[in-house]
Amino acid sequence: MNASLSRFNIVSIVLGFAFLYLPIVLLIIFSFNESRLVTVWGGFSTKWYVAMFQNQGLMDAAWVTARVAFISATVATVLGTMAALALTRYTRFRGRILFSGMVFAPLVMPEVITGLSLLLLFVSMGLDRGFLTVTLAHITFTMCFVAVVVQSRLITFDRSLEEAAMDLGATPVKTFFQVTLPVILPAIISGWMLAFTLSLDDLVIASFTSGPGATTLPMKIYSQVRLGVTPEINAVCTLLIAVVTVGVIAAAVVNKRREVQRQRDEQAAQRG
Amino acid sequence: MQSLGSIRRDFSPWNDPAAKPYIVFDQVTKKFGDFTAVNNLSLSIYEREFFALLGASGCGKSTLLRMLAGFEEPTSGRILLDGQDLRGIPPYRRPVNMMFQSYALFPHMTVEANIAFGLKQEGMESSKIADRVAEMLRLVKLEQFAKRKPHQLSGGQRQRVALARSVAKRPKVLLLDEPLGALDKKLREETQFELMDLQQKLGLTFVVVTHDQEEAMTMADRIAILDKGEVMQVATPAEIYEAPGSRFVANFVGNVNMFEGMVTARDASGVSINSESGIAIRTENAGDAQSGAKVAYAVRPEKIKVSSRPPMDTANNAAEGEIYDIAYLGDMTVYYVRLANGLVVKAASLNSARLTDDPLTWNDRAWISFKPDSGVVLTR
């Protein structure tokens, strides 16, 4: 294979990245715009960041979102892990295929339908729309993502580890908490992070299931944009991007380090 | 006194009618759906015995081991350990420990923590645990690796950790599932003797599952040959090799020449067999073969002499043929001699001298011959 980049490759890379990141770069640049008009550059300023922190509505929405995301991701991780365990371990129970289909259906279900059906359910149950309903809705739709992530780890899990633990005198419960759980923990954590980010940026389902006093950040941003994009919104989005980027980079660096360390250890072990 | 091969002179409880077996499989059957993994099998294993279950994959040997460990329950029949019926006792309450084929070391724990795992479950005091772990590390010579994680160890070291972990609780019985399967040849040979040494030192009963006959022959006091969930023969390695009970066992362990034929006469000194190969066989080891029975006469290659000159007696236990192939293995040479009827006989001769005065080569005429006690008559 030719290692050097051909002109064609360079062009396609530049085009690809531009397509992906130009909008985001524009958004970041205009968040530092002095001018009130979003599309006209009026000089550098950080005043919109100050304004953002003084905007009580935005801050409230951010707090709601953080709480919804944290609670729903945590509950969804517990439920999703249990579903993944049931699906990989008890391969012959009645209705397994139906159950696995039902667990994964929300992955491909249009969000509008999920949102609408949840709304109908909450209304018929007489639940007032608010913090509780949006959290429940987010648990419902993020659980299947956790189940998929954890299940793919469990498929490669060596069952003889659990047998060894039981053979050495650990009861099934102790085996789960001392052996199974620590081994699959990385997958559970990534499942949690996936659920957290999905909940964080969900607009459609939240719009259906949330109510007064429980406006999430995406809903707030969307409603403000309808009144006209302000540089304040750009600032919020820039901060969100910064948080996500730092998180992704940190995770990648940690992973890479661990991988390198592991390879080094293994080479050392092979040498004796 | 004449005897079949080497023996542990002071240890043969299976020949002592007063000895009580330690582990008993009593008419055990195990079915997985329609598949019968173990079929009405009975076996007795004695205390401090090194017992090998030998068979091809799918013969039910691992299922037997897993039933003993408690991971599977027999469909019918009983398994007794020291007189106690094991039915219904979960693996975590059985006084047996197992060394897994994959080693199954806990990847998130250090070597030390792996070995201590079973002791902690017992609720042992932490100072005693530390002592026992140190003792185990010494036993398997891994003292300087105590703080390492399994992925920082080589294959041989992992095997030792697995071994240390499984004997740390001083189980009554240690089960070993293909304990040397993942090691390379040289390491395997060393480890075989270490395992035997360890078994003697700790005075444990070992039950090892293997598909490697050499491994079983080297290590075990007795071997059970399994096929399709049934026991074909239980005997010492020497008996298995020199006195196989059936065609299957003779073929399964080592190389063998099988002369099919019919018993023409039986008298006090043995039987005469008219073999399909054309060789008139006269043997002392008649077994229970009666006149007229269809039998096979099994002779190991190293017990067949090959020579360019005819033997003293050409009428019995001898035939002339042509050298069809030669495999020179260094320590020995295997000659493939084709007889007149097309049967190819393997004859192995030890190269005890560097030079030979009877050089044979491809397509030479050669005589094969064997002694009256060289082979065994098999009726099954």
List chain B pLDDT tens, one digit each, 380 residues: 566 666 666 788 888 888 888 899 999 899 888 888 888 889 999 988 999 999 888 888 889 999 999 999 999 999 999 888 888 899 999 999 999 988 999 999 999 999 999 999 988 888 999 999 999 998 888 889 989 998 888 888 898 899 999 999 888 899 999 888 878 888 888 888 888 888 888 888 999 999 888 888 888 899 999 988 888 999 998 888 888 888 999 998 888 988 888 888 888 788 888 888 878 888 887 777 777 788 888 899 999 988 888 888 877 888 888 888 988 888 898 999 998 888 888 999 888 888 877 788 888 888 888 888 888 888 88
State how far the alpha carbon of B371 is from the alpha carbons of B155, B272, B303, B316, in Å.
46, 13, 8, 9
Look at B108 and A183 and tell me if their CB atoms are within 8 Å.
yes
Exposed/middle/buried for A249, CB within 10 Å: 0-12, 13-18, 19+?
Answer: exposed
Per-residue pLDDT, B311: 84
Look at B104 and A161 and tell me if their CB atoms are within 8 Å.
yes
Closest residue by Cα to residue A192 from A141, A145, A243: A145
Residues of chain A with pLDDT under 70: 1-4, 91, 266, 269-272
Sign of the four-CA dihedral B115, B119, B120, B125: negative
| CB < 8 Å from A in window 44-83 of B | 69-71
Does an H or E element contain B122, and which?
helix B111-122
Beta-carbon count within 10 A of B71 CB: 18
Look at B97 and A168 and tell me if their CB atoms are within 8 Å.
yes
Nearest C-alpha in A relative to B114: A165
Closest residue by Cα to residue A213 from A136, A115, A130, A127: A130
Look at A266 and B69 and tell me if their CB atoms are within 8 Å.
no
The answer for residues whose C-beta is within 8 angstroms of residue B375's C-beta and 6 or more apart is B259, B281, B283, B285, B297, B298, B299, B300, B303
- Is residue B3 a contact partner of residue B28, using CB atoms and an 8 Å limit? no
- DSSP class of residue A180 equals I
Q: What is the dihedral of CA B53, B57, B58, B61, to 10 degrees?
A: 10
Look at A163 and B165 and tell me if their CB atoms are within 8 Å.
no
Per-residue pLDDT, A270: 63
Inter-chain contacts counted by CB atoms under 8 A, chains A and B: 76
Shortest Cα distance from A166 to chain B (angstroms)?
A: 5
Q: Is B151 on the interface with A (CB under 8 A)?
A: yes
User: Using CA atoms, how far apart are residues B166 and B93, in angstroms rounded to an integer?
Assistant: 15
Sign of the four-CA dihedral B17, B19, B20, B23: negative
Look at A160 and B104 and tell me if their CB atoms are within 8 Å.
yes
Shortest Cα distance from B186 to chain A (angstroms)?
A: 15
Kindly report the backbone phi and psi dihedral angles of residue A97, in degrees, each rounded to the nearest multiple of 5, phi listed first: -65, -45
Closest residue by Cα to residue B167 from B131, B125, B139, B196: B139
| 3-class SS letters over A15-51 | HHHHHHHHHHHHHHHHHCECCCCCCCCCCECCHHHHH
User: Using CA atoms, how far apart are residues B343 and B372, in angstroms rounded to an integer?
Assistant: 20
Alpha-helical segments (H) within B243-280: 247-252
User: Using CA atoms, how far apart are residues B92 and A171, in angstroms rounded to an integer?
Assistant: 6
Per-residue pLDDT, A162: 92
Q: Is B157 on the interface with A (CB under 8 A)?
A: yes
Alpha-helical segments (H) within chain A: 7-31, 47-54, 56-89, 96-108, 111-125, 131-155, 159-167, 172-175, 181-200, 204-209, 217-226, 231-271
Q: In what order do the strands lie in the sheet with B280-283?
A: B280-283, B270-275, B257-267, B294-299, B376-378
The answer for residues whose C-beta is within 8 angstroms of residue A58's C-beta and 6 or more apart is A52, A217, A220, A232, A236
User: Using CA atoms, how far apart are residues B115 and B129, in angstroms rounded to an integer?
Assistant: 9
Give which of B63, B99, B100, B132 to mutate to test A binding, by max A Cβ within 10 Å. Answer: B100
User: Using CA atoms, how far apart are residues A18 and A174, in angstroms rounded to an integer?
Assistant: 52
Closest residue by Cα to residue B131 from B121, B119, B145: B119
Largest CA distance in chain A: 72
Q: Is A119 on the interface with B (CB under 8 A)?
A: no
- Is residue B349 a contact partner of residue B332, using CB atoms and an 8 Å limit? yes
Average pLDDT value over all residues in chain A: 85
**Chain A contacts of B165, Cβ < 8 Å?**
164, 168
* Structure ipTM: 0.80
Look at A161 and B151 and tell me if their CB atoms are within 8 Å.
no
B271, β-bridge pairs: B266, B283
Look at B106 and A179 and tell me if their CB atoms are within 8 Å.
yes
Per-residue pLDDT, B294: 85
Helix and strand numbers (H, E) in chain B are 8, 20
Secondary structure of residue B298 in the 3-state scheme? strand
Give which of A156, A167, A184 to mutate to test B binding, by max B Cβ within 10 Å. Answer: A167
In this prediction the pTM is 0.78
Shortest Cα distance from A271 to chain B (angstroms)?
A: 8
Distance of CA B77 to the CA centre of its chain: 25
Per-residue pLDDT, A165: 94
